Amino acid sequence: MTTFYYLLDPILHLTFLIDALFGVLAIILVRNIFAKTNAKLMAPFLISAFAVGVLLFFYLTDAVSIANVWLNSHQSTPLLYKIAGIWGNHEGSMLLFFTFLAAWVTRLRHSECIRLASFILLALGGYLYFAANPFAVLAVKMIAGQDLNPALQNPYLAIHPPILYAGQTLCFLLWIKACLTPDDPKIPFYTRLCFGLITLGLALGARWAYGELGWGGFWFWDPVETVSLFPWLAIAAAVHVCRNDVRRQRLCLLITFPIVMLGLTLVRSGVLVSVHSFGFDAFNGIWLGVCTLMVGVISIASLRASVRGVAIQSVLSKLCTGSSRELALSQDDEKSASATRSLRSPQGCGNPSFSVILSEDFASRENPGFSTRLPVAKRGPVPTFRTAIPIGFLCILVVFCALILVPVLAKICLNANISIDESFFHQYINPCLLGLLLFAGLAPHMKAHWWSFASAGLCTGLWCLLVQPHFHLLAICAALVGFWLMLSSLNHIKSVFTKGFVAAHLGVGLCILGASHAEIFTTKQEFNLNQLSSTFAAQPLHYMSQTSVESPSITKEIFTISIAEKLLQPEIQHFHISRVTKHQTAITRVELDDVHATVFKEEDRIKIELTHKPLINIFWLGILIVLIGIGVSARCGIFNGVYK
C-alpha cells in the first residue's frame, strides 16, 4: 500500500525529474570538458536553479515525505523560516552553493575557461548528487516535520548565508580568470564585488551572532568563524594590490577558491567541532578534500606554467581530460613561447597598458584575446607600503591556517588535543592585526603622514583620558591605529565619493575603535528578578512585568524591564515541536552603547543577566561605511569605463 501511495505521489515524480536533470547536467559538463569549440554554461545554472525552485516548493507545501523538509520544517513554521530552511542545513546549502557557482560561470566566454569550470562543476555536482542530495525521499510516510533549529530561526538567516555564498562562489570565477585570462580588464570589478559581498555576508553573520545567545558575540574566534575569514583575507590582499602589480594580484586570486574549498571541507566533514558545523561525516571530508586537492594542483600548475612561459591550457587539458599528448611540451613549444615573449597582443582585452605574452595555441580564431602568460605592466615601480599591505594579509592568512590545521593534524596523527581558544587569538593575533592595519594608513595617495600620526597620538591621548574607564595597553594601541586610519583618510575627504579607499579606511578605523573598546571594557552583572530596582552602567534599572504568549509552535515568557527609560523584553521561548528552550536576548541602545538582557530560570529563582557594551555602535557604523566605500570603488570603475 505504501509503495502504491508513493507511485501516485507527484512529489516523487518531481524527484525523478530532478534525478533525470542531474543526469543531463553531467552529460553537458562532460561534453564541455572534451568540446573543441566554444560551449555554453547556461544549462547547468538553469538546472540547478530549477532544483532550488523545486526544493522551495517542497518547503512551502510541507512535503514531509522529503527527508530534508521533514528534518528542517513544520506546518506551523513561519513562512520566512520555511524559505530560509532551504539553506539552513547541509544538503540545501550545498545546492545553493552549487547554484551560485553555476550562475557566476555563465560570465565565461572562452572555451578553455568553460572547460575548466565544467571539470570543477562536475566534481562538485557529483558530490551534491551522491553525498548531499536534498531530494532524498523517506521510506516511511510522515505526517509532520521536526521544525527548524531554534537557533536558526532568526531573520538574518534569510539573508546572511546567500550573500556569503554569493561572495565565496565569485572567487570561483576570479580563480578561473586568474588561471587562464589574467589580463581580463573585468577582474578588478569582480574582485571588488567579491570583496563587498563577502564583507557584507560576514557583517550580517556578525550581527546575527551579536543578538543570538550561544553564538558568542559578533566575533568569537570560533573555528568555523575563523575559516569563513580565510577567503576574505585572500580577496582583501588582491584588492590592496597595485594595478600595475599584476603578478601579486594573480597570486592572491589563485589562492581564493582553494581557500574556499578548504573551508568547505573542514566545515562539512565535522573536522572542526563548532556550533556552526554542518555535519560529522568523514565521507564528505574525503570527497570535498579530493576536490580541494584538485583545485590546489591546478593553481600550482598555472603558476608554474606562467613562470616557464608555456601554455597553461596544455597542462589543464591533461588534468581535465587525461590526454598525455596534450601535456607533452616539446622544445619547439618552449622556443615559440620564448620568441613571443616581447610581443604585444593585437587582440588583447582592450587594456593598452599591458604587454601580453601570446602562445601559438591561443592565437587561434576560437580564442581572440586569450592570454596564457602574465601581462607585464609598464607603470613604474610598485610603492613599498602598498606591496607590504597584501603581503601582510597573506601572512595573517597563513598564520590563521596554521592555527586551525595544526590542532586537527595533531589530533589525527598524534592523538593529542590542542586547544586554541578565544583568549589565544586576543593575546597573540590581535596585536599582529593592528600592526598590519597600521600600514593601511601608509597606502599610496595618503599624504601628510607626520601630520596624521601626530594628530592620531593627540586624539588617542584625549580618548584615554576622557572615554576609557581605566588604563589598558591593547585598548590604547587599538585607538592609536583607529585614529591613524581615520585621520589618514580625512586627508582625502573631498574625494570620498570618487575614491572608495577613503570611506573604506575611515570605516575600518571606526570598526577598530568601537570593537576594541567594547570587547575590552564590556561589563556583566546578574540580578534576581525580585531585587531588580537598582542601577546598571550608571543607569536606573526597574522590573516592570511578566507576560506569556502562546502560539501553535512556540510559547514565549516575556519579561519587561526598563533601563534609562527604555524597555527591554528578554524572552524564554519554548518550542513545542523540537522541545527546545531558547533564551532570546533583548538589546537596547543607550546613546552609543548597547545593553543586553537575558533571562535564566534556576530552580525557584529567575535571574536576569545584563551586559553593557560601551561604544559598540561605533563598530556597526564603521561596517556600514566600509560597505559604502567598497560600493563607491566598484561604482567609479563602472561609470569611468575602467572595467569595460
Report the pLDDT averaged over residues 289-308: 87
User: Does residue 197 belong to any structural domain of this protein?
Assistant: no
Reported as a single tens digit per residue, the pLDDT across 582-607 is: 888 899 988 889 999 998 887 778 88
Q: Which amino acid is at 300?
A: I
Report the pLDDT averaged over residues 132-157: 86
The confidence band for 185, taking pLDDT boundaries of 50, 70 and 90, is confident
Name the one residue in this structure whose C-alpha cell is 527546545. 580
> Using CA atoms, how far apart are residues 366 and 313, in angstroms rounded to an integer?
14
Residues 439 and 400 in one domain: no
- For 624, the grid coordinates are 556600514
User: Does residue 228 belong to any structural domain of this protein?
Assistant: yes
Query: Which pLDDT belongs to residue 295?
Result: 94
Residues 4 and 134 in one domain: yes
Query: Which pLDDT belongs to residue 92?
Result: 93
With 60 as the cut, is the pLDDT of residue 628 above it? yes
Considering only residues 438 and 581, tell me which one the structure prediction assigns the higher pLDDT. Answer: 581
The confidence band for 431, taking pLDDT boundaries of 50, 70 and 90, is confident
Report the pLDDT averaged over residues 365-381: 44
Contact criterion met (CB below 8 Å) for 514 and 38: no
With 60 as the cut, is the pLDDT of residue 514 above it? yes
User: Does residue 175 belong to any structural domain of this protein?
Assistant: no
Report the pLDDT averaged over residues 90-102: 94
Query: Which pLDDT belongs to residue 487?
Result: 84
Report the pLDDT averaged over residues 304-318: 62
With 50 as the cut, is the pLDDT of residue 342 above it? no
Residues 506 and 536 in one domain: no
Contact criterion met (CB below 8 Å) for 73 and 145: yes
Determine which of 86-90, 281-285, 287-291, 549-553 has the lowest per-residue pLDDT on average: 281-285
Query: Which pLDDT belongs to residue 52?
Result: 95
Residues 425 and 332 in one domain: no
* Non-local CB neighbours of 252 within 8 Å, separated by 6+ positions: 234, 235, 237, 238, 241, 390, 394
Query: Which pLDDT belongs to residue 276?
Result: 66
Partnered with residue 28 across adjacent β-strands are none
- For 286, the grid coordinates are 574525503
Report the pLDDT averaged over residues 291-313: 80
Report the pLDDT averaged over residues 350-366: 34
User: Does residue 603 belong to any structural domain of this protein?
Assistant: yes
User: Does residue 28 belong to any structural domain of this protein?
Assistant: yes
Residues 590 and 465 in one domain: no
Query: Which pLDDT belongs to residue 172?
Result: 96
Residues 256 and 397 in one domain: yes
Reported as a single tens digit per residue, the pLDDT across 455-478 is: 888 999 999 999 988 888 888 988
Residues 352 and 470 in one domain: no
Query: Which pLDDT belongs to residue 314?
Result: 56
* Non-local CB neighbours of 54 within 8 Å, separated by 6+ positions: 14, 17, 18, 135
Reported as a single tens digit per residue, the pLDDT across 56-95 is: 999 999 888 899 999 999 888 889 999 999 998 899 999 9
The confidence band for 439, taking pLDDT boundaries of 50, 70 and 90, is low
The confidence band for 158, taking pLDDT boundaries of 50, 70 and 90, is confident
With 60 as the cut, is the pLDDT of residue 248 above it? yes
Query: Which pLDDT belongs to residue 411?
Result: 75
Q: Is 609 exposed, middle or buried (0-12, 13-18, 19+ CB in 10 A)?
A: middle
Mean confidence (pLDDT) of the chain: 79
Residues 248 and 359 in one domain: yes
H or E segment and range at residue 10: helix 10-34
% of the chain with per-residue pLDDT over 70: 77
> Using CA atoms, how far apart are residues 262 and 231, in angstroms rounded to an integer?
10
User: Does residue 100 belong to any structural domain of this protein?
Assistant: yes
Contact criterion met (CB below 8 Å) for 595 and 537: yes
Report the pLDDT averaged over residues 616-642: 79
Structural domain containing residue 465: 421-522+617-639
The confidence band for 359, taking pLDDT boundaries of 50, 70 and 90, is very low
> 613: which DSSP letter?
E
Q: Widest CA span of the chain, in angstroms?
A: 88
With 90 as the cut, is the pLDDT of residue 46 above it? yes
Contact criterion met (CB below 8 Å) for 577 and 562: no
> Using CA atoms, how far apart are residues 510 and 592, in angstroms rounded to an integer?
13
Residues 38 and 109 in one domain: yes
Query: Which pLDDT belongs to residue 338?
Result: 43
User: Does residue 178 belong to any structural domain of this protein?
Assistant: no
Q: Is 335 exposed, middle or buried (0-12, 13-18, 19+ CB in 10 A)?
A: exposed
> Using CA atoms, how far apart are residues 355 and 100, in angstroms rounded to an integer?
33
Question: What domain count does the chain have?
Answer: 4
CB atoms within 10 A of CB 261: 25
Report the pLDDT averaged over residues 204-221: 79
Residues 498 and 632 in one domain: yes
- For 622, the grid coordinates are 564603521
User: Does residue 83 belong to any structural domain of this protein?
Assistant: yes
Q: Is 573 exposed, middle or buried (0-12, 13-18, 19+ CB in 10 A)?
A: middle
Residues 146 and 52 in one domain: yes
Residues 439 and 504 in one domain: yes
Comparing CA positions, the residue from 51, 70, 95, 26 lying closest to residue 268 is 95
